[in-house]
Amino acid sequence: MPSSPNAGDVGGDGAPPMTRWERIKYSMVRPDDSPKDDTPPEIRPVEEVEADIARSNDKERAIGLVAAPIAAIIGLVISSASINYAKTHNQSVSVYDKLTYVLLGLAVLILITSWLRKRLFQGITLALYGLAIFQLHYTYFGFAAPFLLAGAWYLVRAYRLQQELKVSEAAGPNAPRPKGSAGSNGTAPRPRRNKRYTPPSS
């Protein structure tokens, strides 16, 4: 029995079958006529955002606590290599001695700010450490890049939380919340009374 000419069609409406590229494209791209989510974005209370601004979370703290000893080790290695280079070329080593103290001091600041959960100062100290390494020589960029990126990440996080705080303060207590969330006093919202009245059947 011969097969139907529309066997390869998606809906059997006579349209040519889609190619492999079209199937991949339509599976990745959202159609324009698809229903959109009309729910308003969740706005957190001001107290919750302020608490996040005041203290970095466990992940941010752990990254800083790991980066601090690594920064100290890298600082000692780079300073030692710089001092040996200066001695070989009959240069003064006093500058590199001061550089050692500066890098170790920044590593200690990274440790302290991470321990105290100060996100903004974590970003500043990490970025300064990466910038100090980068200023020595362009060959040390591989050591400086992770600290520069980590510092920028902390600073971007702090900036976004500040922007979220402004939105929460502008919204006030009437900010939209997700469905099923508790009220301002921590209790579940009461169901509304049905205004339609159905008389009892006799």
Decide: 105 and 122 in contact? Cβ < 8 Å: no
Written in H, E and C, the secondary structure of 8-49 is CCCCCCCCCCCCHHHHHHHHHCCCCCCCCCCCCCCCCCHHHH
**Cα 121 from Cα 107, distance rounded (Å):** 12
**Cα 165 from Cα 171, distance rounded (Å):** 10
**Cα 130 from Cα 124, distance rounded (Å):** 10
pLDDT at 39 over 90: no
Fill in the DSSP letter of residue 139: G
pLDDT of residue 4: 47
Q: C-alpha dihedral over 31, 33, 39, 44, to 10 degrees?
A: 30
This prediction has a pTM of 0.64
Rg (CA), the chain: 30
Q: Where are the domains of the chain?
A: 61-168
Decide: 43 and 166 in contact? Cβ < 8 Å: no
What are the pLDDT digits (tens) for 142-182?
889 999 999 999 999 999 999 988 888 887 666 555 444 44
The confidence band for 85, taking pLDDT boundaries of 50, 70 and 90, is: confident
- The 3-state DSSP class for residue 6 equals coil
**Cα 173 from Cα 169, distance rounded (Å):** 9
